[in-house]
Each structure stands twice: as C-alpha cells, then as structure tokens.
Structure 1
Amino acid sequence: MPTRLHFDEDDYLNCRFAHSPLWETQAVAHLLKRPDRQVYQRPWLRRTRRQAAAMDLTPLWLLMPQRGLTPGWLCPPPASPSATFEEEIALVRAADPGAAREDALRSLRTTPGAAAAARNRGWLHSPARMVREVSDALEQIWTRLVEPDWPRLRALLEADIAFRTRQLAEHGLGELLPEISDHCAWQPGTLTVQDRADCERHLGGQGLVLMPSVFIWPHVIGTFEPPLQPTLAYPARGIVSLWAEPAVQAGTTLTRLLGRGRAAILAALDTPSSTTGLARRLDLAPSSVSSHLSVLREAGLLTARRHGRHVLYERTGLGDALAAGS
C-alpha cells in the first residue's frame, strides 16, 4: 500500500535529519518478533539472546501488528537531531490514556486475538496501565539490549547522516529520497512510500524528518498521520559490517610518515566518526585520539563538523589521497 506525501516550498526548507534511540529500541522489538528480518543482525542476536529471552515483550508485540500500524503515540518523532532515550520515553509515558486507547484499538483489530488479549490485561478498562506497561517494556529493551551498544550504533547513524547531508547538498531532495530505499519513489513535489499504510498527506510546511535506522532493514517505516510531524526511517548504510571487528591497518609508508596512531586514525576515517567512536574502534585512549585529530586537522587532512552533541571528523580530499596512496 502506498503513502503519498506532497511537498510545498516551505516543506523543502523544513526537512531535517535525526536519529532516535527510541525508534531503534522499537525496531529491536520488531526484529525479535520477525526472524525473516534477522539476517544482518545475527552476531548481535547471538550475543544478546539470553537477555532477550529473559524479557516478556508481549505488551509491545500486541501493538506491533504484522499488517497494520503501530500506534502513533508509541513512536513520536524525535524533537531534536540527537534526542536521548530518557527524553523520548518521557513523551511515551506522557501519552493521553484516552487517545492512546483509541489509537491502540486500531492496531489491535488488525491481529486476530489481540483485542481479547488486551482486554485480559485490563488495557481497555485502564489505558493508563497499557501506557505504563508498554513504556516499561521499551525501557527494558533499551537498558538490556540497545544501550550497551548505543555508542557504536550512534556512530553508524551519524556517519549515515553526514553522508546523506552531503548528498542532499550536492543533488537535492529529489535524488536523495529514492536513493535511501527502493521503497521510495519521487515525482516532482510528491514522495511515494511503499509501506503498510494507505495515506495521503499534504505536509503543510511541517517538512519531513529523515531518520537512518540499524534494525529495520530492509524496510522503511514511518509516522505520517497528523498531528505528528511526518517521519521516515530508512536502513542505514554500513550495517553489513556493523557487528564485525575489522582490523584497521595503515600502510607502512603512511605509518612512517605520520606515526602509528595518526596513521591508524586517518585510515579508519573511511566514514565520518567521533572521537569516542574512533577510540573504541582502535582501542586507544580518547585523549590520545583527540590530540591526533587536532594535528591531522591542522595539517589539512581532516575536517570537523558538529552534529548534535558530537563532533564528527572526516577526511578531506588530501586526506583521502594520502590514505589511498598508502
């Protein structure tokens, strides 16, 4: 089923990128329910299977139908480019119980037996209990499964955003949107998304939040119905190698020229990364990485730009040439 989003001039100005620990947490719940989507996450699933098996995810799964929509109050758009999980889960817990009940009923009706299960849990009589139990389940998934790997996940998401931002600047929204997923098609002024919804919406100046995600591959998901700002989550680049532990090695010549630490950092910056991301990847002290980054930047081999609370470093053309020549 298609969703059609119609843009006007103000919408082009109000499109933005973000990443969301809450959406990643929900995507993990979907992933654990759907074995057909687990191919690229198997190393992570093997490592976390005991923690996952110890949790009761039934409250979440009742509101995540295979064919149908997850309630909008469960996945509010991130308010900032790098919102924290604590900020986002507070919005879920603050959902109006009456509105949450009506929204949940639409999801429950699409799965046989789900409405009866919700009634047995007391949700329909006490929707505040439903909001609390679902929020508690999300918080468990975040704490036990997602938060320990969040620095690595965030680094990948920020690298994707850096790449897509350059792509947007160079080619425009019309080329970017079809590029992020085969499920997206663009005709002048209209984005068509093939997903589980059947929706048509004029954005009315709100724009669109574009959000890379690790755990939704190979699909796109979104929140498109008013009054929430339309949000489209798409598969992030680089998930194939996310859970691998590649050895980042610099060539002998580059090492002799720059020294072992700086050469390793330059070689590792094939995608934008933060100081903490590089330190973790290379097993170096963050203070040493920070010092090396400053020298490489002063030499014209790196650039830096702020994304939310973090600074991302990437190679310049000269840095690429030097790394390639090694």
Structure 2
Amino acid sequence: MLRIHFSSDDLARTRFAEEPDPMWELNISLHRLQRRDASVLFGPWRREVASSLLGATRLLSALSPARGYTCDFLTPPADRDLAVQTEALRATPRRRLRIELETFERLNPGTRLPAWSAELATGSTRLLGRLADTAHAYFDAGLRPYWHTVHDAVRHDVMLRARQLAHGGWEAVLGTLHTTARWEYPVLSLGFPVEQDLHLGGRGLLLQPSFFCRYGPTALFDPGLAPVLVYPIEHRPGWERPCPDSPARRSLTALLGRARALLLEAAADGTFTTTELARRTGLTPSNASRHLTALREAALVSSRRHRNTTLHTVTALGVSLLDGCPLPLPA
C-alpha cells in the first residue's frame, strides 16, 4: 500500500501533467516488453516492436526490471522533453548513482546487477552516455511511431480529470485515479507492491497520466525527490493500428477538406491554441489559423482571446459532425 500524506498546502499545489512524460513511458513500456505482455491492449504493440528493440533494451532493462525497484535517476523531470531528460540523465551525480544502485540491490535481492554497474557507480560519463543513447534508440523504435496516440490519450484523460475537479473537487479526482484508490483526507491510499508512505511536506503532488502504465500506480522511491504519482489511463483496443477509413470519416473529409476535418477532430479533445492545433495536425500555424477562421465562420469552432493568444474549442454543431472513427493525425 502506498499512502500519500497531504496538507492543505499540498492540495493547493497538486496539479496534472498535461502531456506524457517520455522517460516514464519509456521505462513502463519496457516493463510491458519484459513481462511479455500478451494482453489485448499491449500484446499487438509488443509483437509489432519486439524484434526491432532487442538490442535497444539490454542496458536499460538491467536498471529497470519488470518488477521491483527501478532506479529513480532513469525518470528525470524535464518538462516532458526527451532531449532535456536524457541530458539530465547524462549529468546524474556520482553520489546519487551510488545510492540508487545500492538501493537497487537492497530492494531487488533476486536480481543481479551487471558487472558494469560498478563502473557506473563511479559516475562514468561513458556509461551514462550509453544509457542516454540507448534511451533515444528505444524511444525512436518503440514509442515515436505511436507518440501521437500516446499524447492524445493522455491529454484526453487530463481533460476528463479537469471536469471531475470542476464538478466534484479533489475528492472526486483522487478517489478515482485507480480502482484501489481511497481518499480520506489527509491521506490518499493506493494499491502498491510494498508498504510506503510519502509525506508531501507542502511540495504538492504532480499527477502524471501514463499510457503504458497498466496494473497500478507507481511513484519515485526517494522521498527527497519532487513528488510524482504515475497512474494508468483507459485505452481503446487496437490503438496501435490506424483507424479504418469509415464512411463517416470520408464524408467529413469530403465536406470540409482534409485540413479542416483534422483540425475539427483535434480540437474536439479540449481547448487549444492555434499553435497547439497546428502541431497536432501537422499544419503550419498560418494554415491552421486560416482554416480555423473558416471553421469558426461555419459555427463549428468557437474562439476566444486569452491574454496574448486565441483559444479554440468545438461547438455543439461541430461535435455533431464528428461521428464515427477519429481522423488519424500525421506523424
């Protein structure tokens, strides 16, 4: 059982990550591979990518086993940017490496560290560089082709949680993060492989939705690190495949044109800026702005100014057109 202890200050500082964290998704998806996950949700993905990832997992798997403790330094916080995270990985201090490798041996008595871990404990820049390069190779082969799906699923979960928060407060949100979640202020209890207490101490909590997280929430082991709770989100089976070209999708594209149909579908997940919608659809910001103007004039999208940007959301009329399979976003 994991028990997270809140104060009123912690609740005030608790927030959601709006995007998937590359290193958390990398490590947790690696666990799916190691467990030979044959489930309906992840079995097809595993069969699709396993052969191309054999050489890209060996180093990481040694420090991120399918069960038990994974070294905390493999999931550095860095604003959901893989390049920044791997640079932080390369700069991991020697003292932290030594402590976490000792923790690994203590908490995973049935798992032997490889011989090269002794060199890593000295702060070897060579090995840290190899770990960072391995992370990039794994991400490119196993996650990047699916990252739009991962990103959109996480954003969708955050939008649903935001509605929960608006209508039911933190009690509605924290009590439904997982089937094992129990919220009795000031403690959130969750099913966990070991007994662990996390005292937030006024720091608040980052709630990180995870696409590849499957069986239960997870967290960093070191209580001195910035508190984060990674929890699983819902999926649709077949997420790894492009959606069939349904008659509804063909009709929508024929009616609006592909660019405007893509923008309408992308905007349906919430409220976004022009730049965000351009990135999600692969359009340039200027083209996205032009097509959004046409959608707004047709009453399919509503737009409002907020400080120095414009926020767009789908209208009720726009939602009524979005029947059938979602339009695939370009990589």
Q: In structure 2, do the counterparts of structure 1 residues 84 and 303 end up closer, same or farther at CA, with 3 Å as the change threshold?
A: farther
Corresponding residue for 2:315?
316
Deviation per CA, 1:72-116: give whole Å up to 9, x if none. 22223x343xx310111122221112221221222234445644x
- Show structure 2 runs of 5+ residues with no match: 324-331
Distance 2:4 2:304 in 1: 31
Q: In structure 2, do the counterparts of structure 1 residues 127 and 304 end up closer, same or farther at CA, with 3 Å as the change threshold?
A: farther
Instruction: Give the percent of matched residue pairs that are identical in Structure 1 and Structure 2.
Output: 30
Q: In structure 2, do the counterparts of structure 1 residues 54 and 62 end up closer, same or farther at CA, with 3 Å as the change threshold?
A: closer
Corresponding residue for 1:203?
200
Paired residues of 2:62 and 2:114 also in contact (CA < 8 A): yes
1:63-102 equivalences under 5 Å are: 63-76=63-76, 78-80=77-79, 83-102=80-99
Cα offset for 1:69?
Answer: 1.9
Distance 2:201 2:141 in 1: 39
Cα offset for 1:296?
Answer: 2.4
Distance 1:124 1:255 in 2: 54
Paired residues of 1:31 and 1:38 also in contact (CA < 8 A): no
Paired residues of 1:17 and 1:161 also in contact (CA < 8 A): yes
Corresponding residue for 2:326?
none
- With 142-151 and 204-213 compared, the bigger mean Cα shift is at 142-151
1:118 aligns with 2:77: no
Corresponding residue for 2:59?
59
Secondary structure of 1:319's counterpart equals helix
Distance 2:153 2:318 in 1: 21
Corresponding residue for 1:271?
269
Deviation per CA, 1:198-231: give whole Å up to 9, x if none. 2212212211111111112232221253221211
Aligned length: 312
2:62 partner amino acid: L
Corresponding residue for 1:295?
294
Q: TM-score under structure 1 normalisation? A: 0.79
Q: TM-score under structure 2 normalisation? A: 0.78
1:22-37 equivalences under 5 Å are: 22-36=23-37
Given candidates 133, 137, 140, the residue that maps to 2:134 is 137
Given candidates 170, 176, 180, the residue that maps to 2:177 is 180
Distance 1:174 1:87 in 2: 34
Q: In structure 2, do the counterparts of structure 1 residues 40 and 7 end up closer, same or farther at CA, with 3 Å as the change threshold?
A: same
CA RMSD of aligned residues (A): 3.6
Paired residues of 2:2 and 2:189 also in contact (CA < 8 A): yes
Distance 2:98 2:265 in 1: 52
Distance 1:317 1:185 in 2: 36
Cα offset for 1:151?
Answer: 3.2
1:90 partner amino acid: E
Paired residues of 2:37 and 2:43 also in contact (CA < 8 A): no
1:154 partner amino acid: H
1:152-231 equivalences under 5 Å are: 152-223=149-220, 225-231=222-228
Distance 1:305 1:159 in 2: 21
- Show structure 1 runs of 5+ residues with no match: none
